[in-house]
A and B are shown apart, each in its own frame.
Chain A
Amino acid sequence: MSQQSIPLFEIFIRSKRGLDHRHVGSLHAEDSEQALEYARDVYLRRSEGVSIWVVRSSDITASQEKDVESFLDPMDDKPYRHATHYKLPKEVDNM
């Protein structure tokens, strides 16, 4: 069987309690149980984390870089969403 036909999984690791799981990479596995074990062997050899999430890559829907202008552009003209937009005198600026 070629490597191509083995599903790809994306691996997320929580490095420490209280932190988010973060994407660390991907690997091929036959199913999610196996992906968990592989992820342990590949990404946690030095206690890099306390919890692993595995997700089939094909289950991830991603935004497209080429669409970024029409998809995200409307945010650029909204400076009033930032605290720095509001100029306060220095006596009360620590807010």
Chain B
Amino acid sequence: MTENTTRIDPQLTTFEDKITNEQRIEPRDWMPDAFRKTVLRQMSQHAHSEVIGMQPEGNWITRAPTLHRKVILLAKIQDEGGHGLYLYSAAETLGASREEMVQALHDGKAKYASIFNYPSLTWADIGMIGWLVDGAAIVNQVSLQRTSYGPYSRAMIRICKEESFHQRQGYEATMVLARGSAEQKAMAQDSLDRWWWPVLTMFGPHDTDSAHTGQSMKWKLKRESNDVLRQRFIDQTVPQAEFIGLKIPDPDLKWNEERNAYDFGAIDWDEFMQVISGNGPCNRQRLAHHVRAQDEGQWVRDAMHAYELKRQARDAA
């Protein structure tokens, strides 16, 4: 054993003390490489999810049943784009460039929430995405408001504030269908049947099978475990479904007096793994669309840049 290997790294001690004392880590602080890598991966994945998540909803803009629903949907999708921007910017505080992150997405190296690889087949899916997908995202994001990386935490606080309308509009739209004609109610039920299980996987694998949870919890990047967050979501959502007379498609779902929580059936993790590794219903379509939008928008960025160069030349003359 040499002296070097036993010496305590003072930078690491300072970093760990900050974490222990509920201090946030800020961009210019020293941080272990693994921490930097983990928080970057998480923020870029989160940012990509916001942006890719615009696609299933965008699918219904031109077919929204009323003008009112259409402007709501537009406003919500605009918010998601903004949330992507907040998160990309937070990631950029660690020196990652936007171009690198987008390229990693296109190369399949960076992931996004696999829920967005499911299609939005009916109008009811738009209500269901707001109520369930945003509902689940909010449970996760409320917890992340206390994440240990400062810029990420501040982005989460801002996002949660803006996102409160997303879930409410989704539930309200679902409620209208559930209280409408028999066909409308059936459409809402069919949508719930298709989204319920995939939504439960949004929280990630069970704690016992989660590769990143342990270290992320130690660093306080993650404040509560996947299973805790999933249970919270289920407990708050079941009464909301019952209230509008929709049935959660889980025969094992039952209130457990002892646990003061709902017991629920087994999640199909094989399907989750299939979707996350690229074989979900819409993976290829989502990525291809993003690549196409990026390519087709290139002339706008080129034009903006050419104009700026021209303006500078004019100012210099």
Report which A residues bind B (CB closer than 8 A). Answer: 14, 17-20, 51, 78, 80-83, 85-89, 91-92, 95
Q: Is the CB of A80 within 8 A of B164?
A: no
Cβ contacts B37-71/A at 8 Å (1 or 0 each): 00000000000000000000000000000001001
Q: Is the CB of A86 within 8 A of B23?
A: no
Q: Which of A18, A19, A83: most chain B CB closer than 10 A? A: A18
B241 to chain A, nearest CB (A): 10
Q: Is B168 an interface residue (CB 8 A)?
A: yes
Q: Is B268 an interface residue (CB 8 A)?
A: no
Q: Is the CB of B23 within 8 A of A78?
A: no
Residues of A contacting B150 in the complex (Cβ-Cβ under 8 angstroms): 17-18
Residues of A contacting B299 in the complex (Cβ-Cβ under 8 angstroms): none
**Bound-complex Cα distance A24 to B290 (A):** 41
Closest to A89 in B: B243
Q: Is B169 an interface residue (CB 8 A)?
A: yes
Cβ contacts B65-98/A at 8 Å (1 or 0 each): 0001001100100010000000000000000000
**Bound-complex Cα distance A20 to B150 (A):** 9
Enumerate B1-41 residues with CB–CB distance to A below 8 Å. Answer: 18, 23-26
Cβ contacts B226-255/A at 8 Å (1 or 0 each): 000000000000011001000000000000
Q: Is the CB of A92 within 8 A of B239?
A: yes
A39 to chain B, nearest CB (A): 17
**Bound-complex Cα distance A85 to B240 (A):** 19
Residues of A contacting B169 in the complex (Cβ-Cβ under 8 angstroms): 80, 85-86
Closest to B175 in A: A88
Q: Is the interface of A mostly helix, strand, loop or mixed?
A: loop
Residues of A contacting B68 in the complex (Cβ-Cβ under 8 angstroms): 80
Could you list 27 A-B pairs, sorted by A, with CB under 8 Å? A17-B18, A17-B26, A18-B23, A18-B26, A18-B154, A20-B154, A51-B26, A78-B71, A80-B68, A80-B71, A80-B165, A80-B169, A81-B79, A81-B165, A82-B165, A83-B165, A85-B169, A86-B165, A86-B171, A87-B172, A88-B175, A89-B243, A91-B243, A92-B240, A95-B135, A95-B167, A95-B171
B153 contacts which of A18, A81, A86, A95 (Cβ < 8 Å)? A18
Q: Is the CB of A18 within 8 A of B75?
A: no
Cβ contacts B136-167/A at 8 Å (1 or 0 each): 00000000000000100110000000001101
Residues of A contacting B72 in the complex (Cβ-Cβ under 8 angstroms): 80
Cβ contacts B173-187/A at 8 Å (1 or 0 each): 001000000000000
B44 to chain A, nearest CB (A): 21
B165 contacts which of A17, A19, A85, A92 (Cβ < 8 Å)? A85
A22 to chain B, nearest CB (A): 12
**Bound-complex Cα distance A52 to B155 (A):** 20
**Bound-complex Cα distance A51 to B135 (A):** 36
**Bound-complex Cα distance A14 to B150 (A):** 11
Residues of B contacting A95 in the complex (Cβ-Cβ under 8 angstroms): 135, 167-168, 171, 240
Q: Is the CB of B18 within 8 A of A86?
A: no
B172 contacts which of A14, A88, A91 (Cβ < 8 Å)? A88
Q: Is the CB of B23 within 8 A of A88?
A: no
Q: Is the CB of A83 within 8 A of B168?
A: yes
**What are the 10 closest A-B residue pairs judged by CB atoms, nearest first?**
A18-B24, A86-B168, A83-B164, A83-B165, A17-B24, A17-B23, A86-B172, A80-B72, A81-B75, A92-B243
**Bound-complex Cα distance A82 to B164 (A):** 8
**Bound-complex Cα distance A81 to B165 (A):** 7
**Bound-complex Cα distance A89 to B175 (A):** 10
Q: Which of A19, A51, A95: most chain B CB closer than 10 A? A: A95
**Bound-complex Cα distance A86 to B172 (A):** 7
B36 to chain A, nearest CB (A): 17
Residues of B contacting A83 in the complex (Cβ-Cβ under 8 angstroms): 164-165, 168
